[in-house]
């Protein structure tokens, strides 16, 4: 049996079959209900009649809603067992199914739109190997004594293995080359019967010279122990494809002055394929996939006819693409909450060790597996989510500790934020977070990626109870301190700034000030730190930052001064 797919025309047929014998077909033809293929030249619409020499019992009809090819034991019908969903619109699918083999061969209907370099078809049994996978318009068998035996018994055996499949048969009748296409519903001693939507065909077995299987483009061959093909096997298919994504959403419920409850939910948007009783793994982090814009070569010819529906990410509603997929921070966790701010912004009180650690961790995902330290996987088992559907899945609910911090970056107003301590066993992926207190909303903002053991800020509101003001004045000027060319002069001006704060809160507040200056900072007393922008080192473009971090007691006032130099054109 040859293993290489060959190009041929494609004859689409609807999925309906009626089991019928050759003699019943002829009787129906005499009643003007049947067109007998053996009397019809290829491509001619006027039917003729040929009288078969044998009869057989009429088998019951299969309902038209059922795909008759599903009854053929050699058709592999893998079901999706699991899918790993990434936030960038890709999913890694694993499918499995059992199939009966004919001389080591089976066929399949679907060639998934797999990304280049990611399609793998494999045998589940350790001692079995998938040694050949072919794809094309469908398997072709030439009954010429070389590809396949041409005696009637061998033809009958081969056709019996293709029962209930859509075939195109080429045959000779009365010296003419003819063809017929339809679903194979009966194989008799002298005739085979094909059926399409409107009629049936009786094709003489002896005249058949070529057979092509339609609508089943994938052909797979297995080798077993001692190079003997098994009769039955469980095959798997793994591939990466577009069309499925998930969006994280947090809810933070404030419990008291130190503790809060953080809940992570994932909204899965499935525009790829049906998931029925499948395990869904929601992945934090995006692996390095280079060729996602290219299809696997074996899938190109099959998918191109239905590219609009096969590459299902194009069917994601534009509102979803605009709102979610364009937010690169959510997709890639590229915006990571800063973890090196000198002294901790929170008083680090360790969380008491629970008596029952597994019970306290509940369903939090664990980092595991070789080379998996950069990824976290949330798993939800036994999920049914059809193509075109969406689902919200609760991934974890965990009690955490938090603190308060006020951040001021003049001239913007001071912001009050909650600082969330990640003492859980998993990082927190980037996603929108809704903060609640006593069932009242506090804020909604983006919680950036927070690693295990790190901390993340969630902006809440303007810090209106901490009064703050900024002023600057010139304290020195060196005239014509710099002359880049003839008659062009610049003065070096030294400016002094003052930041004033007063705490009207009834509690001690933690304050971080980040003050950018349009020049080179030179003086920052009271524990201030100075830095310069390394991308702006030209004399006339210099910029820097002065930063403070301190506590402000209730009713306390504080004044902070700083100085910086800048060059301005001389008058």
In tens digits, the chain (571 residues) has pLDDT values of 444 443 333 233 333 333 333 333 333 332 333 333 333 433 333 333 333 333 333 333 333 334 555 678 989 999 999 999 998 889 999 999 999 999 999 988 878 888 888 888 999 888 899 988 888 888 889 999 999 998 989 989 889 888 888 899 999 988 899 999 998 999 998 899 999 888 888 999 999 999 998 888 888 999 888 878 899 999 999 999 999 999 999 999 999 989 999 999 999 999 999 999 999 999 887 677 777 777 776 665 443 333 223 333 333 334 333 333 333 344 445 555 665 554 433 333 333 333 332 343 344 333 333 333 457 889 999 999 999 999 999 999 999 999 999 999 999 999 999 999 999 988 898 899 999 998 899 999 999 989 889 999 999 999 889 999 999 999 999 999 999 888 899 999 999 999 999 999 999 999 999 999 999 999 999 999 999 999 999 999 999 999 999 999 999 999 999 999 999 999 7
CA-to-CA separations, 227 to 123, 129, 133, 235, 327, in angstroms, rounded: 14, 10, 17, 17, 52
Contacts for 76 with CB less than 8 Å, ≥ 6 apart: 97, 99, 106, 107, 108, 218, 220, 235
Contacts for 101 with CB less than 8 Å, ≥ 6 apart: 74, 222, 229, 230, 231, 232, 233
pLDDT value, residue 336: 59
Contacts for 7 with CB less than 8 Å, ≥ 6 apart: 136, 137
pLDDT value, residue 67: 53
Phi, psi at 80, each rounded to 5°: -70, 120
pLDDT value, residue 69: 58
Residue 270's nearest CA partner among 322, 327, 315 is 315
DSSP assignment, residue 416?
E
Phi, psi at 466, each rounded to 5°: -120, 100
Distance CA 569, CA 170 (A): 91
CB 395 within 8 A of CB 304: no
pLDDT value, residue 111: 81
pLDDT value, residue 70: 62
Give all strands of the β-sheet with 176-187 in edge-to-edge order: 140-142, 208-213, 166-173, 176-187, 191-195, 200-204
CB 378 within 8 A of CB 281: yes
Q: Tokens 């070569």 correspond to what residue?
A: 297
Distance CA 251, CA 270 (A): 23
The CATH code belonging to domain 22-78+99-236 is 2.30.30.520
Distance CA 34, CA 45 (A): 13
Distance CA 148, CA 132 (A): 19
pLDDT value, residue 245: 92
Q: State the span(s) of the chain assigned CATH 2.30.30.520.
A: 22-78+99-236
Alpha carbons within 13 angstroms on the beta-carbon side of residue 208 total: 34
């Amino acid at each position: 049996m040859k293993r290489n797919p060959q190009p041929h025309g494609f004859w689409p047929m609807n999925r309906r079959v009626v089991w019928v014998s050759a003699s019943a077909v002829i009787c129906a033809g005499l009643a003007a209900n049947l067109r007998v293929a053996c009397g019809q030249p290829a491509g001619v619409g006027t039917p003729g009649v040929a009288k078969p020499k044998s009869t057989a019992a009429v088998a019951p009809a299969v309902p038209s809603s059922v795909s008759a090819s599903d009854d053929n034991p050699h058709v592999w019908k893998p079901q999706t067992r699991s899918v790993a969903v990434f936030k960038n619109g890709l999913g890694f699918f694993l499918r499995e199914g059992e199939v009966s083999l004919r001389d080591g061969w089976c066929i399949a209907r679907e060639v998934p739109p797999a990304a280049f370099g990611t399609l793998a078809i494999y045998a589940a049994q350790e001692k079995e190997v998938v040694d050949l996978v072919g794809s094309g318009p469908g398997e072709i068998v030439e009954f010429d004594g070389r590809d396949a035996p041409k005696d009637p018994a061998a033809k009958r055996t081969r056709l019996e293995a293709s029962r209930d499949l859509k075939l195109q048969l080429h045959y000779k009748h009365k010296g003419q080359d003819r063809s017929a296409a339809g679903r194979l519903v009966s194989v008799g001693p002298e005739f085979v019967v094909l059926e399409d939507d409107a009629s049936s065909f009786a094709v003489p077995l002896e005249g058949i010279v070529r057979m092509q299987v339609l609508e089943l483009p994938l052909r797979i061959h297995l080798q077993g122990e001692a190079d003997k093909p098994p009769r039955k096997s469980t095959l798997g298919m793994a591939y990466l494809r577009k069309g499925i994504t998930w969006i994280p959403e947090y809810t933070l419920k404030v419990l008291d002055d130190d503790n809060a409850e953080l809940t992570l939910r994932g909204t899965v948007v499935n525009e790829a394929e049906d998931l029925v009783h499948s395990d869904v793994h929601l992945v934090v982090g995006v692996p390095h996939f280079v060729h996602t814009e290219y299809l696997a070569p074996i899938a190109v010819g099959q998918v191109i006819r239905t590219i609009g529906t096969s590459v299902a990410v194009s069917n994601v509603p534009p509102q979803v693409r605009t709102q979610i997929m364009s937010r690169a921070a959510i997709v890639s966790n590229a915006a990571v909450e800063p973890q090196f701010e000198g002294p901790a912004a929170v008083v680090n009180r360790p969380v008491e060790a629970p008596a029952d650690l597994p019970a306290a961790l509940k369903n939090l995902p664990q980092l595991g597996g070789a080379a998996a330290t950069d990824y976290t996987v949330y798993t939800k088992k036994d999920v049914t989510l059809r193509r075109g559907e969406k689902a919200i899945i609760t991934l974890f609910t965990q009690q955490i500790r938090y603190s308060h911090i006020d951040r001021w970056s003049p001239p913007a107003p001071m912001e009050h934020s909650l600082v969330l301590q990640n003492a859980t066993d998993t990082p927190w992926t980037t996603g929108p977070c809704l903060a609640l207190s006593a069932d009242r909303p506090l804020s909604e903002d983006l919680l950036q990626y927070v690693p295990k053991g790190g901390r993340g800020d969630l902006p809440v509101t303007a810090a209106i109870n901490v009064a703050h003001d900024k002023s600057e004045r010139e304290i020195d000027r060196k005239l014509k301190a710099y002359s880049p060319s003839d008659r062009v002069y610049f003065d070096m001006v030294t400016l002094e700034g003052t930041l004033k704060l007063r705490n009207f809160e009834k509690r001690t507040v933690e304050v971080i000030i980040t003050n950018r200056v349009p020049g080179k900072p030179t003086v920052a007393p009271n524990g201030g730190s100075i830095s310069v922008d390394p991308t702006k080192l030209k004399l006339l473009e210099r910029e820097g930052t002065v930063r403070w971090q301190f506590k402000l007691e209730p009713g306390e006032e504080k004044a902070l001064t700083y100085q910086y130099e800048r060059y301005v054109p001389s008058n």
